[in-house]
């Protein structure tokens, strides 16, 4: 009774072949690490501009919403004063 049950239909694989090469990892050279000219500068400036507009727009909308809420509350209080004063 030394039989083993095989419950799957997986094939028998041969030698385990690695998908990596024998070449070891090499650190990038200084030329590869340095930013490359105007293209990188323009990219950075455009990204800073986009972020500035996003944060500035969010701040503007937040302050505008707070100002509108304050005006609404002021109008409600003035309406209550007018009704209570008569």
More confident residue, 6 or 32: 32
Q: Residue 56 domain-assigned?
A: yes
More confident residue, 23 or 67: 67
Q: What is the pTM of this model?
A: 0.49
Q: Residue 49 domain-assigned?
A: yes
pLDDT digits (tens, 9 = 90+) for 50-72: 999 999 999 999 999 999 999 99
Tell me the C-alpha distance between 64 and 70, whole Å: 10
Count up the domains in the chain and report the number: 1
Q: Residue 21 domain-assigned?
A: no
pLDDT digits (tens, 9 = 90+) for 5-15: 666 677 777 77
Chain-centroid distance, C-alpha 31: 29
Residue ranges making up the domain that contains 71: 38-85
Question: DSSP alpha helices (H): ranges in 1-86?
Answer: 30-33, 37-85
Query: Which residues lie below 8 Å from residue 41, measured CB to CB, with a gap of 6+?
Result: 35
* Stretch 21-40: mean pLDDT: 77
């Amino acid at each position: 009774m030394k039989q083993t049950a095989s419950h799957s239909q997986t094939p028998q694989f041969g030698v385990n072949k690695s998908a990596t090469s024998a070449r070891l990892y090499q650190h990038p050279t200084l030329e590869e690490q340095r930013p490359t000219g105007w293209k990188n500068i323009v990219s950075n400036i455009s990204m800073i501009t986009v972020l500035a507009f996003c944060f500035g727009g969010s701040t503007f909308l937040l302050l505008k919403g707070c100002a509108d809420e304050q005006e609404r509350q002021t109008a409600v209080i003035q309406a209550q004063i007018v009704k209570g004063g008569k």
